[in-house]
Amino acid sequence: MQRIPVEDYAARIRELFASVRNRPQEFVPIALAADRVTAAEVRSPLDLPIFRNSQMDGFAVHAADVAVVPVVLPVRGEVAAGAVDPHALQLGTAVAIMTGAPVPAGADAVVPIEDTRAAGGGVEILRTRASGEYVRAAGSDLSAGSLLLPPGLRLASRHLAALAAANLSEVAVRARVRVAVISTGNELVEPGGPLGHGRLPDANGIALASAATAAGAEVVAVELTGDDPARLAAVLERTISGGAELVVTSGGISMGAHEPVRQLLEPLGAAVGTVDMQPGGPQAHGTYRNVPIVCFPGNPVSSQLSFALFLAPLLRETAGLTAVTRTALPLSAPLTSSPGRRQFLRGRRTADGGVETVAGPGSHLVAALAAADVLIDVPADVTALPVGATVDTVEL
């Protein structure tokens, strides 16, 4: 693989990604469906409201009986919310009714309690009400078979409430791609423990796993495999047998003596080469047991930028999430850039609506990346830009 432009490499990864064996959708309980994206339109199986019910506490009546007021009607019983099959209303009578309770057959209006007054064994109706008043017709919100939720909708509480109201306890959502994250490198140890000489806490595992989750994927494994290609192979076998549909690795793809990813995958046909970008130039990709494997460099800044540029857009698209935002912004401070390679400088938005760089271009600046909120995309032939120049930024 020659040194290739970022867009060409992104296209190659897109092609590889097309072979991910992800299911088109899965059904999840509504209690677990928040922030998932509908895979298909949802039609209501029922009228909403499900049955004709009262909008007020008051009295269900035959509207014709209250056409002239005041009038006293005998009260024949009460209908509470949840009442089972209330008796039909007899003409010339009223039935006490609660908000939400089913309106009895024969009744076609509800007189709110504040327009009435107790009168012996009956109720005095003080205000006339037309047929339909304070009665919520079945299907007046939505009729059975109508569209309840469109496809591609990111589910928030009000959507889940509508599903529940239609008596749906599950919903078909875009399936998450099952991703395994593997960090290589003998120098890496789990964060939080004692660090021996030359040892480094692994930042790639958490970085790539949480970025994949944020992009709508399901992370099924986060592993450290050192520098031994055989150990890497064993972890690939296990995670792929366990259902991983995409593997993301970091490290082990350079020209050195200890490059387990390259050593294992290049003989299997993986492409290893350099993309015209800094940080993140060295890149590789291939398949293992027909599962796509995307291999980023080991430096945590390089791996994070690589993920943002090559995998986040594809995973977000699959999950039905909004695309990664690219915005042209004016520089709030001048910028210098190394010649010869396209640079993705770390930047942050400024109070004046512009953007400025955060620290230098180095691929080891993990803390500086944490202080950034955008990447500034600087073409290879640009070495300096003045205040006010427009730059292309990628949202982090």
Nearer to its own copies by Cβ, of 185 and 286: the residue is 185
Place of tokens 């092609």: 15
| Binding track, positions 93-122, relative to its own copies; x by CB under 8 A | -----xxxxx----------x---------
Residues 213-232 interacting with its own copies (rule: CB under 8 A): 213-214, 222, 227
The least CB distance from residue 21 to its own copies, in Å, is 25
- The answer to whether 84 and 109 have CB atoms below 8 angstroms apart is no
Looking at beta carbons only, is 46 or 71 nearer to its own copies?
Answer: 46
Strands 200-201 and 188-189: parallel
- Site pattern 295..334 for its own copies (x: CB under 8 A): ---xxx---x------------------------------
The interface region with its own copies, picked from 19-27, 204-212, 261-269, 380-388 by CB under 8 A, is 204-212
Q: Give the shortest CB-105-to-its own copies separation in angstroms.
A: 12
**Contact between 380 and its own copies (CB under 8 A)?**
no
Of residues 316, 270, 261, the one with CA closest to residue 292: 270
Residues 2-31 that bind its own copies (CB under 8 A): 30-31
* Closest C-alpha among 302, 303, 325 to residue 374: 325
* Contact characters 253-292, its own copies, x per CB under 8 A: -xxxxx----------------------------------
Output the smallest distance, CB 290 to its own copies, in A: 28
Stretch that binds its own copies, among 1-9, 260-268, 322-330, 355-363 (CB under 8 A): 355-363
Q: Determine which residue in the list 62, 136, 174, 342 makes contact with its own copies, applying CB under 8 A.
A: 136
Among 22, 38, 53, 116, binds its own copies (CB under 8 A): 53
Can you tell me the distance from the alpha carbon of 280 to that of 300, in angstroms, rounded to the nearest whole number? 10
Q: How far is the CB of 68 from its own copies (least distance, A)?
A: 26
Task: Please work out the total of residues on this chain that contact its own copies, with binding judged by CB under 8 A.
Answer: 97
| Per-residue mark of binding to its own copies, 63-92 (x: CB under 8 A) | ---------------x-xxxxxxx------
Asked if 148 is part of the footprint of its own copies (rule: CB under 8 A), the reply reads: yes
Selected binder of its own copies within 63, 109, 110, 203 (CB under 8 A) = 203
Among 111, 123, 173, 211, binds its own copies (CB under 8 A): 211
Single residue of 38, 116, 204, 274 touching its own copies by CB under 8 A: 204
Question: In a 10 Å sphere around its CB, with 0-12 CB exposed, 13-18 middle and 19+ buried, how is residue 299 labelled?
Answer: buried
Given the DSSP bridges, would you call strands 218-224 and 178-183 parallel, antiparallel or unpaired? parallel
How far apart, in Å, are the Cα atoms of 28 and each of 169, 170, 176, 336?
8, 5, 12, 50
Find the binder of its own copies among 67, 105, 130, 161 (CB under 8 A): 161
Q: Which of 5, 24, 70, 362 binds its own copies (CB under 8 A)?
A: 362
Write down the least CB distance from residue 201 to its own copies, Å.
4
Asked if 351 touches its own copies (CB under 8 A), the answer is: no
When binding is defined by CB under 8 A, the residue of 7, 23, 34, 41 that contacts its own copies is 34
